[in-house]
């Protein structure tokens, strides 16, 4: 499958899924994208002390947080970001995941779940460098697409 076909398939899966499946998938995905000691280490160079603390708090239980609480942490992070457009990709995906999750919790827009799924695919792509003409050729990319499909079907 070409990348655009994978993206379209994800969009169709999210659209067909009910709100409960979207919520479960989103919760698991935001946790997956915001977990890891290496992410905490990468964040040290990206944020001032207040932003780093807010980032750690947001990562502690993103699935159980409220949209208002997540947005407050994200505002603190935004104010304390030190990088100037060249942020570590892992940190960027985590921030985007937190933003999409907060938006989903606030308004239940399926598009935010699509964006979470895409961030998840991009994170795997960063590790294995998937081919655009056969995006699911690597076992890692195929497994991530299967994870997404399994949760949303």
Instruction: Determine phi and psi for 81, rounding to 5 degrees.
Output: -80, 130
Give me the phi and psi of 47, to 5 degrees please. -130, 155
pLDDT, position 4: 93
Identify the CA nearest to 97 among candidates 147, 50, 55, 129. Answer: 55
Q: What is the pLDDT of residue 107?
A: 97
Determine the pLDDT at residue 83. 81
Distance, CA of 149 to chain centre = 16
DSSP H helical segments within the chain, as ranges? Answer: 3-16, 19-34, 37-44, 49-60, 67-79, 89-107, 110-128, 139-152
pTM (two decimals): 0.93
pLDDT at 28: 97
Confidence of residue 82 (pLDDT cuts 50, 70, 90): very high
Per-residue pLDDT of 12-57, as tens digits, reads 999 999 999 999 999 999 999 999 889 989 999 999 999 999 999 9
Best CA proximity match to 115, nearest among 39, 31, 5, 14 = 14
| Structure tokens belonging to residue 60 | 């502690």
84 has a pLDDT exceeding 80: no
pLDDT of residue 86: 85
């Amino acid at each position: 499958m070409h990348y655009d076909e994978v993206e379209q398939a994800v969009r169709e899966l999210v659209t067909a899924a009910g709100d409960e499946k979207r919520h479960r998938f989103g919760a698991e995905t935001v946790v997956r994208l915001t977990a890891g000691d290496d992410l905490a280490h990468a964040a040290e160079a990206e944020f001032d002390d207040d932003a780093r603390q807010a980032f750690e708090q947001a990562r502690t239980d993103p699935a159980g947080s409220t949209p208002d609480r997540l947005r407050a942490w994200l505002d603190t992070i935004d104010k304390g970001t030190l990088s100037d457009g060249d942020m570590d990709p892992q940190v960027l995906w985590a921030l985007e995941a937190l933003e999409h999750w907060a938006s989903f919790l606030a308004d239940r827009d399926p598009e935010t779940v699509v964006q979470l799924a895409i961030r998840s695919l991009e994170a795997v792509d960063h590790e294995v460098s998937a081919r655009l003409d056969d995006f699911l050729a690597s076992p890692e990319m195929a497994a991530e697409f299967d994870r997404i499909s399994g949760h949303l079907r």
